[in-house]
Amino acid sequence: MTQKRFEDISIVSCGTLSLELNHLKKEGFLDTPQILYTTPGLHQDIPELERQLVRQIERARQKTPYVIVVYGGKFCYVNVDQPTRLMQTIIAEQGPSVARIEATHCMDMIASEAERERIAAEAAGGEPVWWMTPGWIKFRKEVFKGWDKGLANENFPKHTGGAIILDGVGYMDTYMAEKPEDFLEYADWMGIPIIPWPVSLDRFKKLLLDQADKLHAAA
């Protein structure tokens, strides 16, 4: 990509998406000076999520005038103590030089709802699916921190279509080849099949570009 679109923009993201973002930076699409991550799985610790997110945005601003936050708007930040305080509230408080990718959660960044419905129909016969990205595999201990087998049994088996991994970086091929026992143990713990599903990162790229264009247009 010849045109510089992110050279004055830092990325602040949930660490769960580090595989995809590092891939885009390595291939040259994401020409950002820096990507800063928060700890994966902080959707289970809202106060810590907010602390880390604001801190990383402040760090990012020391290097670039603009920041794109890669966090979902609906499911990643659910504040039960302050229900009216949303992810978008936090972003708005940072001022006009900070924008957030327009998606509800990390799976929505990789595949739209319509695309997920199509994949579910093809891979799971339209049965309920538990969606994940490769980061949910790599950072299992963080994403499912505090979960035991009992909690897993309460949540996963009702997804009779299994768990589908939206893999845009080829992570699952390597993981299953190098750690087949871990893969089987993970599926056994969930109590449902884990189905890797190759996808492109085209939607993710577009969502990032949309925010870069908005930031530059408002400058």
* Tens digits of residue pLDDT in 100-135: 999 999 999 999 999 999 999 999 999 999 999 999
Residues of the chain with pLDDT under 50: 1-2
Intra-chain end-to-end CA distance of the chain, in Å = 23
Structure confidence at residue 1 (pLDDT):
41
Residues 6+ apart with CB under 8 A from 218: 96
| Residue 119 near residue 88, CB atoms below 8 Å | no
Structure confidence at residue 118 (pLDDT):
97
Task: State whether the Cα torsion 156-161-162-164 is positive or negative.
Answer: negative
pTM for the model stands at: 0.92
Structure confidence at residue 2 (pLDDT):
46
